[in-house]
Every structure is written in structure tokens, then in C-alpha cells.
Structure 1
């Protein structure tokens, strides 16, 4: 079998490693040679307080998985760093006269560099949400997703840069409202809705005043809550009157908000959220952009493991874009077509 032998502490063991020498404690056999490490084996060794290093064979698959985990952690740290920088930039807006474009450019360069590893970025952002940071990390997530969609719809590089600027700044106006509005995404705030609606105009005023910044950036900020049927704000405009940057940011914004709100995730699961994006593309979100977004993002989840609401694990084999929440799965060596099992749904992705 391919792989190399190494020695690991119990805490360092990974599922898929193969134990190559009997594990003994006080002369008693704990784990037999040839056993494949899994969560149960690791738990058993921890309960036995086994402290010596264990000889295992590490397959290429395990090495690849460990590499992916390390890369995901690195990307997560990069996005956290940008979130902190974005907070600092927001705080300086309007009171410090300096070249803010240079800071935006630096953030965009870091994001664009990470977009070269699309699978890692999607695993890190697409269904993770912005957690307890509905303003700064949310801004970074929306910028990442907007950048991806901008590339997928064929925007030239210079426009993708500007789109990321706009996405990073799209919720700046929230910081100029009462602090109680800083703790929840603007889409979800029902109390004092009219006041919250002003944040797009407030942000537009600040962003539009930045010297040498393309007007497309401020238009994206102003219009990111406009909707195709005219039901959005602050202008209530429709269709072609909405700037393309705003159309893209709207899709990214909706996705991250739903993935950050436990009420959506607990009740619907990640693929039901993609279904909502598809439904909204019929009259709220741009249809073509939404279609491109959904087609691309679902491709990256082929072969991924998922946890069902039944508590069972399965693997995604095929996703029908017309029924995203009900893909074809492989469970215990057999096909499971969720379109034929209305009470079974994907609770979460098992992204390692």
C-alpha cells in the first residue's frame, strides 16, 4: 500500500491513517496492527490515556487532506486579517484625510490572490457565514463571493478589482446608524426599517467623495439593495437601471446573510438556501447572474460529504440545478435520490 511510516501522538492522528504496529499498554493489546484510524479509534486511545507515539502509515489521501486543512486555516486567517483592516478603514472614514484607495487596493489584492484557490475559498466562505461579525467579516465574505461571481460572468480584471472595492464598502453606512444596528445584517433588521434603509445613501455619500475612485464603486454601494422588480431601496429602481456591481453584490449579500443566520441554517440547510437564491432570481435578483453563480458554486460540491437530518452521512454525486436542494447521493454504497425522499434533506456540509 502506498504511503510512508511515521510516528504520531494520539492528538495528531487523522482518520485514514493505518496503524502499522500493535498498540500495547501494560502488555495488553489496545489496537491491532493494520487497523485503519477513525474517530472511534482516536477516542479509545484518548480514553486509555495512551501517551506514547504510534507508528502509522500515512496515505497520499491523508496527506492531501491535511494539506487542504492547513490551506483552509491559512485562508481563514487571511480573511480575518482583512476583516480587522476593514474595521480600521471604516473607523477612519470621514475623519482622516488620506488615500483610502491604497488600502482598498491592498485588501482587493489579498482577496484576488486567494481566488486562485477557488475550492478552498468556497469551503472557507460560501457556507460558513460571517458568524458573530455581521459587519466587517460580512463585508469580506461578500467581497470574496462578489469577486468570484465577477470572474464567472466574465468581467475584466480591472472591473473585478473595482467590484471588490464596492463589496468591501457596501455596508459602511451601517456604522453611521445607532450601534444596535451593528450587530445584525441589514437585510434581517425589521425594527425601524426605514432608518436602516438610509445606510445605502449614507455610504454612497462617503464613498463617492473618495478622490480618484471609479463611480462604479459608489453605484454598487448605493444600489446593492435594489431589486429587479422595484421592491428594493433606496431608489426603488428596476432591471437595467440597477448597476451590474449592485446586482452581483446583492446575490453575495443574500447568500452570506442567510448562511450567517441560525434561523435559516437550522430550518433549511445549505442547499435550501441556494434554492432561495434561485427562487429570488425569478423577480428579485438578476436571473442570469444568479444562474451563473448557482451553476458554478454547485460544481464545487460534487463528491463532498454531507450530513443528513437523519444523522446519516452521504456523498454528493449529482446536483440538478432545477432542484438544487435534492441532489443524488451515495449512502452506505447505495444511491439516494433526495427528490424521491421529501422528508430527508442535507443538514450541513462536512467540509474538511
Structure 2
């Protein structure tokens, strides 16, 4: 182990010891391989030295040190061990499966059991997923519908769990998120990807994706009626102003209420053809304002409270590009905590022009 000045650090070097902020919060974990952004974070928190393995700093390009021959020999003589899968790997597999299923669903049956198995493989990593912090490794705007489906599935699974539904409902709520927009497969792609505002006739055709979705799911096994109703009802509002049936809150299935929230959240926080992604924190604030008369207010509060439950010491980037550390969160204003930036406390409740743009590391 060796101590090295951050002035000598280069991307690719691995930390051999946890790094803490001057206030004691965990900044970076032992074993972190430094990226260029990490060097900026260390400088922002005025960290002077970090601990690395002896020999790491000898590489001028930041590459990992060469393994000793004895280690190489031992590795080649043993049977190869498949590395454990990660959330991102299983997520990417599900994206490809959903993409294939959606593109063929009009002509063939939905491969429901394959989809269920892969959805379960992703949910096996649900402890690593947070709606505010998870970012797909790669995504283009034309794949928006598939990413929205998978993200809505994961967030709906969590929200059903957080809201106290029975365990048997969690996977069905995930299915509701996965299939809520499946009716878009019957919509002309030129409408789905049209960057200009839709005409009245085009808008009415887009609205039909809810009834198309219910029809597609009508004879699918392994899902319950609530999943089908979520496809039909996820644009209904509790005040009766939604579509397609203008139902009031008492007639909207709980899965549809859940998906109505998660769909809006991911629709606004993902890049789309005609609109750039917004900060997930700002999206939560907009959803909170929508809760009065439009979305189920209790589910909205649960979603905001649980998804923002970060410990003090969480490192975030503000909308002015400053990097800071969450030091206090008011339960009444969970999207606007107090953030320590360069030793000064920024109260986001008071400074409304600022907001959290990105969560960088969790404590």
C-alpha cells in the first residue's frame, strides 16, 4: 500500500483504502478504479492523498499492473468460473428480449415465460436498483419505449412493495409496468417518433394505445387482470380527467395507479426524440404537484420518500455543476436536502433555482 498525492493520480488507478470527505462521509470505496470524473470529485473535496496498492502509480497511462507469472499459471490450470451477473447485464438482456417481443407481438404470441424468467433475473438484483440513480449503460432515443417498459417494471415492483401490497402482487405490478405501453406496437412508428406536435387526429390515434394494449394482453397467460387493466387505465386520473374511460380514482386498478406514476417519472427522466431528459429530482417535484387531483397522492408520497432515502454523506452534483455532500434531509422536502459544497451549506429549500442534477455515489 502506498500514499499518493492526487496531483499524481491518473484514471485507471485503483484505491486500496476508503476515501472520506473532511466531514467524515464516505466519498469513494476501497477498490474503486478511478475515472476522470472521480479525480474532479477528489479535488472538489480538497482530498490531498489517497492510498493505492504499491506499484499502481508506476504505470504512466493508469493501466493495471501486470500479474505475476505464478498467478497466471494458477488461473490457467483451474476450471474457468463464470462471473456472477450484474444488474446492468440482466437489464440489457431484458431490453433485447422486450425489443424482440414487441416487434413481433402483432404477428405472434408474446413469449411470456421467457420474459418472466428474464424479468425475475433482473429483479434478483433489485437491491442495486434505485429509480433516481440507475442509468442504462447504452441507450438511443429510438429504443425509448423498451427502456421505459423495463424501468417502469422495476420501479413498479418497488412501489408495490413499498406501498404494502402482498408479495404475490409485486411481480404482477412489475408485469404491469413492463406491458403498460405494449399497445404502441399497433401505432404507426411515424407518430411514435414524430418530433413535431401531433394533430388532433394523430393525438386521438396515440390515445388508442391503451385499448390496443388491453386487447393484446387479453389472452396472455401468467398475468392477472390487473396487468391488463394497467395497460388500459395507466392514463386515467383520480379526478376523472384521464383517458380512455374518464374513470375516477375508485375505479382505477391499483396497478394502473402505480404505473401511472412510474411511467411519468421515467418518461420525463429519459432522453426522447423530441425532448431531453430532465433531472430526476425535478421530475419528482413535478409529479408531487401533479398528485393533487391527478395521481394517487399516497402512492406519490411513498415513491418520493423511498426513492430519495439516501444517507447523509451521499455525493451529488448540483445544477450549477458544483459537487457536494448531502448532510441533512427534511422529510417534508425530501427532494431538497441540505448539501455541503466546499465547506458551505447549501439549503436547496431556500435556493429554489438550484436542484440536484445527479447522484454520484451513495454512502
Confirm or deny a common fold (TM above 0.5).
Answer: yes
Q: Once structures 1 and 2 are overlaid, which stretch shifts more, 145-154 or 106-115?
A: 106-115
Counting matched residue pairs gives: 305
Q: Distance in 2 between matches of 1:50 and 1:167?
A: 42
RMSD value, Cα: 3.7
Out of 318, 342, 354, the position equivalent to 1:308 is 318
Q: Corresponding residue for 1:77?
A: 89
TM-score by length of 2: 0.72
Q: Corresponding residue for 1:148?
A: 158
Encode CA deviations 1:296-341: one digit per residue, 9 max, x unaligned: 1110364321222333211112333433443211122332212222
Q: Distance in 2 between matches of 1:299 and 1:51?
A: 36
Q: Corresponding residue for 2:179?
A: 169
Q: Corresponding residue for 1:196?
A: 206
Instruction: State the shift of 1:261 in Å.
Output: 3.9
Aligned CA distance change for structure 1 residues 255 and 15 (closer, same or farther; 3 Å): farther
Q: Distance in 1 between matches of 2:267 and 2:124?
A: 24
Out of 199, 224, 241, the position equivalent to 2:234 is 224
Instruction: State the shift of 1:170 in Å.
Output: 0.9
Q: Once structures 1 and 2 are overlaid, which stretch shifts more, 226-235 or 322-331?
A: 322-331
- Secondary structure at 1:195's aligned position in 2? helix
Q: Distance in 1 between matches of 2:61 and 2:116?
A: 51
Aligned CA distance change for structure 1 residues 52 and 199 (closer, same or farther; 3 Å): closer
- Secondary structure at 2:325's aligned position in 1? strand
The residue correspondences of 1:182-261 to structure 2 (distance < 5 A) are: 182-183=192-193, 190-191=198-199, 192-211=202-221, 213-261=223-271
Encode CA deviations 1:97-128: one digit per residue, 9 max, x unaligned: 57x33123213312321224445x75325x99
Q: Corresponding residue for 1:63?
A: none
Q: Corresponding residue for 1:101?
A: 112
Q: Distance in 2 between matches of 1:280 and 1:128?
A: 30
Q: Once structures 1 and 2 are overlaid, which stretch shifts more, 105-114 or 276-285?
A: 105-114
The residue correspondences of 1:23-62 to structure 2 (distance < 5 A) are: 35-36=49-50, 53=65
Aligned CA distance change for structure 1 residues 168 and 210 (closer, same or farther; 3 Å): same
Q: Once structures 1 and 2 are overlaid, which stretch shifts more, 230-239 or 315-324?
A: 315-324
Instruction: State the shift of 1:172 in Å.
Output: 1.0
Aligned CA distance change for structure 1 residues 290 and 45 (closer, same or farther; 3 Å): farther
Does structure 2 conserve the Cα–Cα contact (< 8 Å) formed by 1:270 and 1:349? no
Q: Which has the higher helix share?
A: 1
Instruction: State the shift of 1:264 in Å.
Output: 6.3
Q: Corresponding residue for 1:91?
A: 103
Instruction: State the shift of 1:50 in Å.
Output: 7.5
Q: Distance in 2 between matches of 1:158 and 1:134?
A: 29
Does structure 2 conserve the Cα–Cα contact (< 8 Å) formed by 1:227 and 1:285? yes
Q: Corresponding residue for 2:332?
A: 322
Does structure 1 conserve the Cα–Cα contact (< 8 Å) formed by 2:308 and 2:335? no
- Secondary structure at 1:90's aligned position in 2? helix
TM-score by length of 1: 0.74
Instruction: State the shift of 1:45 in Å.
Output: 9.4
